[in-house]
Amino acid sequence: TMVESKNAWVTVDGAISEGLFDVDHMPLRMNGLSVTAPDGTTAPAPEAVMGKMRTSVDIPLPQDGTYRIALVSTNVMGSYKVGNEVKRFRGSEADFNKQLPAGATEVKKTITNQRIETFVSANKTSDGALKPTN
């Protein structure tokens, strides 16, 4: 997206849906959304507003050039048995390790890494924000 303005802003909306471009399920949680400016500096995005069906955030673009807007997360889903009872877990790996009781058996854990990125340019394109990240 190219924004041409002396005081450039962009609005990012996020939703989880069953179909492509259908806002029909629930808002996307944008905790940890970051913005990499054309000079390569990265900062948290402004606070997002979560509605019933989507989340929105207005992002100022004070520098001319290309920005990377990224939502990166690592999540854990797992299960384990305590006695004959199966317990389930969803959250961070640190929380999983803290909450796993001593003596748990049949421990199963799946780690997912997610990266959603979009690029926006204010008044001109540049490559400072395009450098690879982890």
Write down the pLDDT at residue 134.
64
- 61-104 pLDDT tens trace: 999 999 999 999 889 999 999 999 999 999 888 888 888 899 99
Helix (H) / strand (E) element for 120: namely strand 105-122
Write down the pLDDT at residue 18.
80
Cβ burial 42-57 (10 Å sphere, 16+ → b, else e): eeebeebebeeebbeb
Show the domain range for 25: 2-130
- 32-67 pLDDT tens trace: 899 999 999 998 899 999 999 899 999 999 999 999
Split into its structural domains, the chain has a count of 1
* Average pLDDT of the residues in 125-131: 90
